[in-house]
């Protein structure tokens, strides 16, 4: 295969041209693709009218695919590896309604094996908007002063699980059940600076849900975490993906944060199918919270 990479932004991302899904991939092309993934952190394949089997097979090129046991309600019937990311049209929605984006995060950072990569396949895309944004956390780390790098060295942020019952097995029907769910999914302390297991480079490792640094009070943690999130999401570190139908995207969760901008007409459908590629162990259970 004659594969080419066309950069998508100054900071990160590349469109891959020349890949024919549905045809067996040779070893040289696979190595090239894996190297491109490490170099650009987001890879885009346009116009991929692929089957779900092909989507799963492509995900397996990058590692073991997660079977989504923690999010049974979003799993696609017959395809446990595929989660649906769906907004069903709401005919009563008005443009004046709140359309605040979701929060910056990196997938599965609230677990002891955070995701290596995520793929999204755009099945139905609104006329305009519904973009996904990515922040380059290598660049964010590397542009910090030596003084700040020294402060961050060895610090851990506490990553709580989201309480979104649609996605997870969190039972909020009584305080006791909620407490039991939280015991099953305790917060996880993750290094604020993580060494990428494949590239060996350091990057910030954050989520906007992280409100506490281990060993510091909430008042002490807040300003530092706010600064880091604001710094990491500066325009020069960002790629904003404007979806087209049949786009297939894969990104590296170990050195990026992402955010669904949620900026679209909610009377329309937005439907994507997602797989997650398992990562390597990181962090520890933050017992003080339990
Ligand atoms: C996600 O946050 O994993 C989904 C991104 C999106 O819906 O654009």
What ranges in 99-196 are assigned the alpha helix state H? 137-142, 146-152, 175-184
Q: Per the residue annotation, which of 159, 194, 254, 274 is the catalytic one?
A: 274
Quick one: average pLDDT of 262-286? Answer: 95
pLDDT at 189: 97
Query: CB–CB of 109/103 below 8 Å?
Result: no
Q: Choose, from 107, 110, 159, 241, the residue flagged as catalytic.
A: 107
Is 90 exceeded by the pLDDT of residue 288? Answer: no
First to last CA, the chain: 53
Q: Is the dihedral of CA 20, 22, 26, 27 positive or negative?
A: positive
Residues 232, 44: contact at Cβ < 8 Å?
A: no
Q: Respond yes or no: is residue 105 known to be catalytic.
A: yes
67 three-state secondary structure: coil
Least confident of 51-60, 93-102, 109-118, 148-157: 93-102
Rounded to an integer, what is the distance from CA 6 to the centroid of its chain? 22
Give the total number of structural domains in the chain: 1
Question: 60 phi and psi, to 5 degrees?
Answer: -70, -15
Atom of ligand 1 nearest to the CA of 241: 8
Helix (H) or strand (E) holding 30: helix 27-40
The CATH number given to whatever domain includes residue 285 is 3.60.130.10
Task: Extract the tokens encoding 68.
Answer: 């989504």
Question: CA-CA distances (angstroms) from residue 178 to 43, 186, 239?
Answer: 38, 12, 37
Q: Is 274 a catalytic residue?
A: yes
Residue 16 has pLDDT above 80, yes or no: yes
Picking from 257, 253, 110, 113, the residue whose alpha carbon sits closest to that of residue 188 is 110
Nearest CA to ligand 1 atom 4: 260
pLDDT at 107: 95
Structure tokens at 106: 């990196």
pLDDT band (50, 70, 90) for residue 164: low
Look at residue 171 and tell me whether its pLDDT is greater than 80. Answer: no
Q: Can you read off the two tokens belonging to residue 46?
A: 């346009």
Segment 162-191 shows an average pLDDT of 73
Q: Is 85 in the pocket of ligand 1 (CB under 6 A)?
A: yes
Q: What is the dihedral sign for C-alpha 21, 26, 31, 35?
A: negative
- In tens, the pLDDT along 220-259 reads 999 999 999 999 999 999 999 999 999 999 999 999 999 9
Q: Global pTM?
A: 0.93
Q: Is the torsion defined by CA of 162, 167, 169, 172 positive or negative?
A: positive
146 is in which domain, residue-wise? 4-289
């Amino acid at each position: 295969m004659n594969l080419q990479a066309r950069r998508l932004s100054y900071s990160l991302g590349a469109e891959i041209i020349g890949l024919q899904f549905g045809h067996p991939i040779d070893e040289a092309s696979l190595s090239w693709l894996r190297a491109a993934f490490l170099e650009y952190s987001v890879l885009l394949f346009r116009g991929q009218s692929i089957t779900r089997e092909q989507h799963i097979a492509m995900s397996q090129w990058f590692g073991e695919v997660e079977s989504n046991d923690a999010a049974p309600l979003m799993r696609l019937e017959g395809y446990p590896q595929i989660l649906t990311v769906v907004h069903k049209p709401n005919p009563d929605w008005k443009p004046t309604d709140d359309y605040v984006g979701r929060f910056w995060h990196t997938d599965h950072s609230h677990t002891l094996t955070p995701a290596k990569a995520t793929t999204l396949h755009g099945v139905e895309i609104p006329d305009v908007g519904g973009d996904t944004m990515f922040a380059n956390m290598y660049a964010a780390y590397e542009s910090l002063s030596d003084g700040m790098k020294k402060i961050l060295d060895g610090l851990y942020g506490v990553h709580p699980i989201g309480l979104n019952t649609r996605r997870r097995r969190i039972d909020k029907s009584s305080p006791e059940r909620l407490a039991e769910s939280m015991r099953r999914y305790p917060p996880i302390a993750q290094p604020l600076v993580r060494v990428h297991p494949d590239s060996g480079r350091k990057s910030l490792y954050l989520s906007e849900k992280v409100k506490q640094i281990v060993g510091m009070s909430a008042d002490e943690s807040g300003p530092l975490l706010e600064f880091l999130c604001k710094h990491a999401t500066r325009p020069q570190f960002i790629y904003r993906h404007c979806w087209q139908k049949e786009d297939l995207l894969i990104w590296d969760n170990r050195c990026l944060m992402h955010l669904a901008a949620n900026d679209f007409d909610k009377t329309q459908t937005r439907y994507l199918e997602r797989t997650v590629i398992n990562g390597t162990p990181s962090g520890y259970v933050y017992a003080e919270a339990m």
